[in-house]
A and B are shown apart, each in its own frame.
Chain A
């Protein structure tokens, strides 16, 4: 039996080499891939909580995420064989006219750590590209980011384009410095997240409904 508690600890501490080694050992020992994944996600959840409580900084969180990413590369083929599907596929991007991507990148990283399949469309993304990506990847979650007051209205454009399609169960979460819950309500977005850490909770809540 592999020590999956140790795997959780290696993810938490961002120890890439030990996390990947133990993942391989766990697979070799016949551990159920889903169990290995769960051990990793527990580690990332703890990291997310510690960040929310101001116990660690983003770089420490990213180092943990990098360890998970590398361990996942080893685990993924075995997971796929079991018919595993990620919790959700998410499409994320900074809306058209806006080039700011730090916040968007952090949310993307946090979602990956929570076991979402994330398709990052980058910055300055037009509405049509969001719609096309939702269709192509069967996404059920969309993240929109904007930092400027003059690009906020582009979120409305994306919302209109998404709502004009017959998507079933596609939830939209928005965020960025000028964004508020009121604005999310105004444009018909499903949720607003004030920061990257709370974007994971908000996404999980949305998908559970």
Chain B
């Protein structure tokens, strides 16, 4: 059973703010997501090392050290709560027993921190999506699919309260679309292949969550929108192209909520404010504190509508102040403290701080501009005005281009000369695309090198 959104949960941009979501919910230790506080969400990863049977003891030692360090600092700084995200590395999904060893280490430490210091916390479990380990990716069966579902199921049974993923459906064609500057390919990857895969995948994840009484949280088009963002940051593709891709990613990520996810959307889904406007669910975001993992052009603006504030991922290496994950925890907590002070002061102060976050970034990069709260509401409206992911993707893409064109014209956004022709190129491309997604699908199947993707894995016939 899936929901098709036809109205916005937040249609007034002044209501699209950090810390408040129209549909908040409470976790087992009493943390209310979207209920008036912003919580830090910490994610950490291993330093350079192999993950194999012979190194698992060392791997576990690293995770034990990381979780102990971050929880201790959170307790010392009196954080009102902490979300811990465990995003597995490929071998940990491939071998669910290895993944579960770490899940248990994290949950034990979280339990201990609660018993000893009264620290509330919850675990977001994010098995990495190994389905592209075989090429062409096998999306609906096979050992990678089964291992991933097993890890979701066992971690939910063990106590992980939020289930998430960075799914990869459609990425096998989307990567090339990005490097070729091909907007048609991007829309096909996101809204035809991606949306179909999301529906299949999230139907399963929601069912697992229900079975264990936990929450199907949300997905992210990280492998699409953030790949575009990083390529734009490296000056490989135009920033306006990455900005339009970002708007289109919201169509793909929305499918999780249509299938029953309730948030908070995954931290690296920079499209999440658009989804918050549509669904009203709390969202996680990352910005300046995620530069330990990758750069972005919206370090402050990304906080404007967050309900949890994340660092994306940090390696367990030693810095002058201490271990890097502990340092990252401290940074997140101080950012959250500031937002929570504003939330305590009232709506006027929340808007003031939010607008400062926005104003510090929005005029300098189209990818930031497109995520201003007013633009997010406009893009959200464009998405819900259409009946299918494909038609929504084309419409939101054109809407995003119009927003950027207008912003450049009124000088509220600075675009370089070499970026500008891309606005027209993208407009022409989207307008010339077939109205029927099946016509496009057949065109793509006919012109794509055999073996690049399996149409049947997306419910397409060739």
Contact = CB atoms under 8 A, between A and B. Distances in A.
Given A57-B238, A58-B237, A123-B135, A105 B89 contact: no
B45 interface: yes
Interface in B42-58: 45-51
Contacts of A209: none
A149 B106 CA distance: 21
A63 B178 CA distance: 13
A60 B91 CA distance: 37
B179 to A, nearest CB: 5
Interface string A123-147: 1100000000000000000000000
12 contacts: A58-B236, A99-B132, A102-B178, A106-B236, A122-B135, A148-B89, A149-B47, A149-B49, A149-B315, A150-B49, A150-B91, A178-B48
Interface in B229-246: 231, 234-238
Residue with the highest number of chain A CB atoms closer than 10 Å, among B48, B49, B135, B175: B48
Q: Interface of chain A, helix or strand or loop or mixed?
A: loop
Nearest to A97: B90
B116 interface: no
Interface of A: 54-60, 62-63, 97, 99, 101-102, 105-106, 122-124, 148-150, 152-154, 178, 195
Interface string B218-255: 00000000010001001111100000000000000000
A149 B48 contact: yes
Contacts of B49: 149-150, 153
B166 to A, nearest CB: 12
A60 B179 CA distance: 9
A105 B301 CA distance: 33
A59 B235 contact: no
A122 B132 CA distance: 12
Nearest to A52: B235
Contacts of B175: 101-102, 105
A22 B291 CA distance: 48
Given A102-B179, A148-B89, 18 more contacts: A54-B235, A57-B418, A58-B179, A58-B231, A58-B236, A62-B180, A102-B178, A105-B176, A105-B179, A106-B179, A106-B236, A122-B135, A124-B133, A149-B47, A149-B48, A150-B46, A150-B51, A153-B49
B181 interface: yes
Nearest to B293: A177
A57 B90 contact: no
A178 B181 CA distance: 26
Given A57-B235, A149-B315, A195-B234, A62 B51 contact: no
A63 B182 CA distance: 11
Contacts of B236: 57-58, 106
Nearest to A123: B135
A156 B249 CA distance: 37
Contacts of B132: 99
Contacts of A58: 179, 181, 231, 236-237
A56 to B, nearest CB: 8
A123 B132 CA distance: 10
Interface in B1-58: 45-51
B89 A154 contact: no
A99 to B, nearest CB: 5
Given A54-B235, A101-B175, A124-B133, A59 B180 contact: yes
Interface string B76-97: 0000000000000111000000
Contacts of B176: 105
A105 B231 CA distance: 13
B399 to A, nearest CB: 23
Contact of B133 (A55, A59, A99): A99
A81 to B, nearest CB: 29
A149 B46 contact: yes
Contact of A57 (B45, B89, B91, B181): B181
A153 B50 contact: yes
A152 B181 CA distance: 29
Contacts of B315: 149
A117 B418 CA distance: 32
A106 B235 CA distance: 14
Contacts of B135: 122-123
B47 to A, nearest CB: 6
A9 to B, nearest CB: 19
Nearest to B129: A99
Nearest to A59: B181
